[in-house]
């Protein structure tokens, strides 16, 4: 077996051992096996990635077994390893390994830890299957695998109705996107006669200009197929229209949010578009759709993030917004920049989610930022980790000198959008700058509300409950101190939670500076991406260095404006947020209600679905099927039984009379026949 076999299949073996053998091996063994397997996979992944960076590694396909042979459809189970795969390998295994370790501390008191760790490893295996796929069916297998695992993880606390509802919502919304992905795969097989990704990408230019019948219309073939594939990406990567599941997915444990909704599953759509980028390059219309949807998603999610009070939901909408950046980068032809932002985003967003989990752990599972304040003195290590993540996501840096991870990747996307020659590149550029300002505001708002100012813990029911529990336990009264801390003292997280924060902080600080040449530099990037199927636009990467100075400074200026506004509103003026919300009440309610997408979908889809379900249940199932089926048969048998009972008098002469009548009738019938 080769390194890639161990990388992909170790998490599966660990998941099976922990999940099926949990009663026999116990929680400690289950945690140890799953965590150790992920660290081994991570240690094996980094040399492959470094090999592609220095040019010592070349792309290859590692066969596993023959999978399907049915008529014209034939493909093997193969593991494709190229530079695009290598990027995803280090992202998935590194973040997953750290999340496994973090969960030792965060889930310490949970009685069902083996099941949780088994689900984490199962999810990681499915994601690895997706990114190593050499054909579309294998990619779809991993695609559905992460959907299943996310359902299990979001609904892990299945006794909570809100967790069950969130898991179902995620599963249903993703099925809508997956329908588009399936139709795209069917159409590609019909057109190309294969599901092999290299063969499809090689033959794609020859199909430009062809048309196909769809829903009674003649449409451009490549545009239709790319749009169908992109619908699948919209579902997995929570783009506008199919985004509603992502914020609700915060009902799962915080490590789930860091793994699934920051670094892996939600980036599957971006990866798929980049893997099939030569196919998307055959349709400018499809690229325009990707650009518009991605940019609009970046703006939408950023506006909603402005008014959220749940610390995890702020970061969740931030994820949705950053995914929009990646998509409009791909839509404008900057696939290398899209993957670069995916790479850096994995580190600083996982850091922010796990940092938020450390805050929640310290605050006795209180998630409302309005009840925080002044925490930097109590949990300083968590504070500095989240500070690094905030500096990275807001793109802090100095032009020509250096900066944090987001400074390199997000600025590259904005500059590429300006320099691109695509139809809607300026829409992406303008929205990208506006979203950068909003990102800075809500990110620093989170930091100010959480770590600065006076403690506001006495208003929290969670904290009050914790204080009362402590009082009941030690039998002593606890007066509320003058600083308003409600007698509760936040504590720093244990080392299994702090170690991943420290390692992710390194990535948030240095990932952009160390790797930006390989991803977006014209010459180095061309060499790096030549070992993959990704379409690398060398001309565009040259052009981003020629954009005007004001374009290069635009995102930095936007970041500073957002920082200054957040500082004024949450540090210098106590009533400014309330006055602003009151003055612009309609806009505030619009953002607070998430542009009313949930209400709209409830009106258009959920209520009609329940109405039809009730109709078919009461009128169809009960009124027709049960009435004339099992219930009708039972009623007929009951009626016949009652009739037979009446005929059974128990008197011998009655039975003799019946027999005599029967004999007379039989003889009469025979005489008539004769």
Q: In angstroms, rounded to a whole number, what is the distance separating the alpha carbons of residues 591 and 606? A: 22
- Give the number of other Cβ atoms within 10 Å of residue 16's Cβ: 14
pLDDT of residue 479: 47
On the 0-12 / 13-18 / 19+ scale of CB atoms within 10 A, 15 is buried
Strand 60-70 versus strand 73-81 pairing type:
antiparallel
pLDDT of residue 364: 83
pLDDT of residue 38: 95
DSSP per-residue codes, 523-577: HHHHHHHTTSS----HHHHHHGGGS-HHHHHHHHHHHHHHHHHHHIIIII-SSHH
pLDDT of residue 477: 45
Q: What is the pTM of this model?
A: 0.89
pLDDT of residue 485: 53
Query: Which positions of the chain have pLDDT values less than 70?
Result: 263, 459-488
Q: In angstroms, rounded to a whole number, what is the distance separating the alpha carbons of residues 37 and 343? A: 22
605-639 b/e with 16+ CB inside 10 Å = b? eeeeeeeeeeeeeeeeeeeeeeeeeeeeeeeeeee
On the 0-12 / 13-18 / 19+ scale of CB atoms within 10 A, 472 is exposed
- Give the number of other Cβ atoms within 10 Å of residue 465's Cβ: 14
Contacts of 87 (CB under 8 A, 6+ apart): 49, 339, 342, 343
* Residue 530 in tokens: 């030549």
Q: Which residue has the tokens 């805050």?
A: 359
**Rg (the chain; Cα; Å):** 31
pLDDT of residue 357: 92
Q: Dihedral, CA atoms, 408, 301, 225, 343, nearest 10 degrees?
A: 30
Contact 566, 444 (CB under 8 A): yes
pLDDT of residue 288: 95
């Amino acid at each position: 077996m080769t390194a890639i076999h161990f990388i992909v299949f170790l998490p599966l073996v660990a998941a099976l051992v922990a999940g099926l053998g949990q009663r026999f091996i116990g929680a400690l063994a289950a945690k140890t096996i799953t965590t150790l397997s992920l660290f081994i996979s991570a240690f094996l992944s980094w040399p492959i990635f470094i090999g592609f960076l220095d040019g010592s590694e070349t792309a290859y396909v590692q066969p596993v077994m023959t999978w399907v042979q049915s008529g014209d459809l034939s493909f093997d189970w193969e593991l494709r390893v190229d530079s695009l795969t290598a990027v995803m390998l280090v992202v998935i295994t590194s973040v997953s390994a750290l999340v496994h370790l973090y969960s030792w501390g965060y889930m310490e008191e949970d009685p069902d830890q083996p099941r949780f760790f088994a689900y984490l490893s199962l999810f990681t295996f499915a994601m690895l299957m997706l990114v190593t796929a050499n054909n579309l069916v294998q990619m779809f297998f991993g695609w559905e695998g992460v959907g299943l695992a996310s359902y299990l993880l979001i609904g892990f606390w299945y006794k909570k109705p809100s967790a069950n509802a969130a898991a179902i919502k995620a599963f249903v919304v993703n099925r809508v996107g997956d329908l588009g992905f399936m139709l795209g795969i069917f159409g590609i097989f019909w057109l190309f006669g294969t599901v092999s990704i290299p063969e499809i990408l090689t033959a794609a230019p020859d199909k430009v200009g062809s048309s196909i019948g769809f829903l009674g219309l003649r449409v451009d073939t490549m545009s239709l197929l790319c749009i169908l594939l992109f619908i699948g990406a919209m579902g997995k990567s929570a783009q506008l229209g199919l985004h509603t599941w992502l914020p609700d997915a915060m009902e799962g444990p915080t490590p789930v949010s860091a793994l699934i909704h920051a670094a892996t599953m939600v980036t599957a759509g971006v990866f798929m578009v980049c893997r099939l980028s030569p196919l998307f390059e055959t349709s400018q219309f499809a690229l325009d759709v990707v650009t518009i949807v991605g940019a609009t998603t970046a703006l939408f999610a950023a506006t909603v993030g402005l008014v959220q009070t749940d610390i995890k939901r702020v970061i969740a909408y931030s994820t949705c917004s950053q995914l929009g950046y990646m998509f409009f980068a791909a839509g404008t032809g900057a696939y290398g920049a899209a993957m670069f932002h995916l790479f850096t985003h994995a580190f600083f967003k996982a850091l922010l989610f796990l940092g938020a989990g450390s805050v929640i752990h310290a605050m006795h599972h209180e998630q409302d930022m309005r009840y925080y304040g002044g925490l930097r003195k109590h949990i300083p290590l968590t504070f500095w980790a989240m500070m690094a993540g905030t500096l990275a996501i807001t793109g802090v840096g100095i032009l020509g000198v250096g900066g944090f991870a987001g400074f390199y990747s997000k600025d590259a996307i904005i500059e590429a959008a300006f320099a691109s020659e695509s139809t809607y590149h300026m829409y992406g550029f303008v929205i990208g700058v506006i979203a950068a300002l909003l990102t800075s505001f809500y990110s620093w708002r989170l930091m100010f509300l959480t770590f600065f100012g006076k403690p506001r813990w006495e208003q929290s029911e969670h904290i009050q409950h914790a204080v009362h529990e402590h009082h009941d336990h030690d039998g002593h009264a606890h007066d509320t101190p003058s600083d308003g801390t409600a007698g509760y003292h936040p504590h720093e997280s244990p080392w299994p939670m702090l170690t991943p924060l420290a390692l992710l902080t390194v990535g948030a600080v240095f990932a952009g500076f160390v790797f930006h040449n390989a991803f977006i530099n014209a010459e180095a990037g061309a060499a790096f991406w030549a070992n993959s199927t990704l379409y690398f636009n060398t001309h565009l990467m040259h052009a981003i260095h020629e954009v005007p100075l004001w374009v290069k400074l635009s995102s930095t200026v936007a970041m500073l404006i957002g920082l200054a506004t957040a500082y004024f509103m949450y540090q210098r003026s106590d009533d400014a947020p309330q006055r602003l919300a009151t003055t612009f009440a309609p806009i505030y309610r619009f953002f607070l209600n998430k542009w009313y997408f949930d209400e709209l979908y409830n009106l258009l889809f959920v209520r009609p679905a329940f109405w039809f379900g009730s109709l078919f249940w009461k009128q169809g199932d009960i009124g027709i099927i049960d009435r004339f089926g099992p219930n009708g048969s039972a009623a007929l048998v009951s009626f016949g039984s009652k009739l037979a009972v009446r005929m059974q008098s128990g008197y011998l002469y009655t039975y003799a009379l019946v027999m005599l009548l029967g004999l007379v009738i039989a003889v009469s019938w025979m005489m008539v026949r004769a």
